[in-house]
Structure 1
Amino acid sequence: MKLIHVTLLFITLTLSAYVNANGFKTVGEAKMEYLFWDVYDAKLETPTGSYEFGEHPVKLTLTYLRNFDAKDIVKATNEQWLHLGLVDMVNTYDEKLLALWPNIKKNDSLSFETNPQGIGTFYFNNDKLGVVEDKKFADHFLAIWLSSDTSEPSLRKQLIGGKHD
């Protein structure tokens, strides 16, 4: 009887790990370019393979094609929040993000994954960096790429699978 319980526990844990590792399906992918530079490749994933703004969980992965200092990524994040009119977000998370994000080298990836409650976790090359325990942060951070008011509408369109609003 113990062997059956141990076997069932093992199967349950193995299936759980498989679902967690493979639970996301690609919604869309895009390349961010600025003037004549390739900046990063972006990939949006959800459990269903479709996306609606504000629904969670979601995973956005940026694979950088150039080197960037963390402070420059924080600065760009604030500039995008200004563009979106999210003035209350500007500079609010600078310390937290600078503590989480490393300097980026070419081919490094930075991922942001939310849980079903909308709380987000950052990953660097698939290693957990830390959590931002604020649903407002998750939605506003993702808005940089996924809001209909993004500064990069063609990138957004590719990420959300070519759908229109």
Structure 2
Amino acid sequence: MQRRSWLLGALPLVCAWPALAQDNTASKELAAQAFQRLRPLLGNPRLVGEHRFTYWGFDVYHASLWASNATFAPNDWASQRLVLELRYLRDFQGRDIAQRSIAEMQGQRALSAEQSATWLQSLQSLLPNVRSGEVITGVYLPESGAQFLHQGKAVGEIRELEFARRFFGIWLSPQTSQPLLRQQLLAGASP
């Protein structure tokens, strides 16, 4: 009887195996495409880590962090050029993404009302509405700020270092609201 219950317990995994293998193949193909797409931005891009972010059981996006250096120090990420890609798994309005981003930046350390309003306006003007499967790419430029792309096409930039550090800190700062996501994005970092 015990053997039978073990078999029944494993049945969902066995039935899901082809789907899991297909997901893994798709993930490898997406990584290869991202490597080619990111070469102009990073030279020789290296995947540092990735994670599927879910919120209250709903898939939100698949995040991947890429660096240009062979070594990537997680505690010194703000001094390195990097790219964060978010492949959305559901539809979102750009204004909602912008508002959530400001709330997350506020959670790291309080923003002044003026700073919050200015950054919100900047983000709302450049973040597009996204549909499931579309990609928003953020390029962190430690010397000048951040650039943003949607589906590989430039949508704008914000040339302010404090903004760029706080924005990328949503995912990479020790003060992030999502420590598991941060841990997975930094999984391939150098010690």
Same fold (TM over 0.5): yes
Deviates more, 1:83-92 or 1:132-141: 83-92
Q: Could you state the TM-score of these two structures normalised by the residue count of structure 1? A: 0.81
Q: Which SS does the other structure have where 2:77 is aligned?
A: coil
Q: Which has the higher helix share?
A: 2
The answer to whether 1:82 aligns with 2:106 is yes
The offset of 1:162, in angstroms, is 6.1
TM-score by length of 2: 0.71
What per-residue deviation string (whole Å, max 9, x for no partner) do you get for residues 27-86 of structure 1? Answer: 100111001100000011111252433122111111100000011111101211221123
Structure 1 vs Structure 2 CA RMSD: 2.2
Tell me the equivalent position of 2:89. Answer: 65
CA contact (8 A) 1:56 1:118 kept: no
Q: CA distance change for structure 1 residues 150 and 164 in 2, over 3 Å: closer, same or farther?
A: farther
Unaligned runs of at least 5 residues, structure 1: 1-17
Q: Please show how residues 9-158 of structure 1 align to structure 2 within 5 Å.
A: 20=40, 22-49=43-70, 50-51=72-73, 52-88=76-112, 89-158=115-184
SS in 2 for 1:142: helix
CA–CA separation in structure 2 for the residues paired with 1:119 and 1:83: 20
Question: What residue ranges of structure 2 are gaps of 5+ in the alignment?
Answer: 1-37
Amino-acid identity (%): 27
Structure 1 residue 92, shift from structure 2 partner: 2.4
Task: Give the superposition deviation at 1:26.
Answer: 0.6
Alignment length (residue pairs):
148
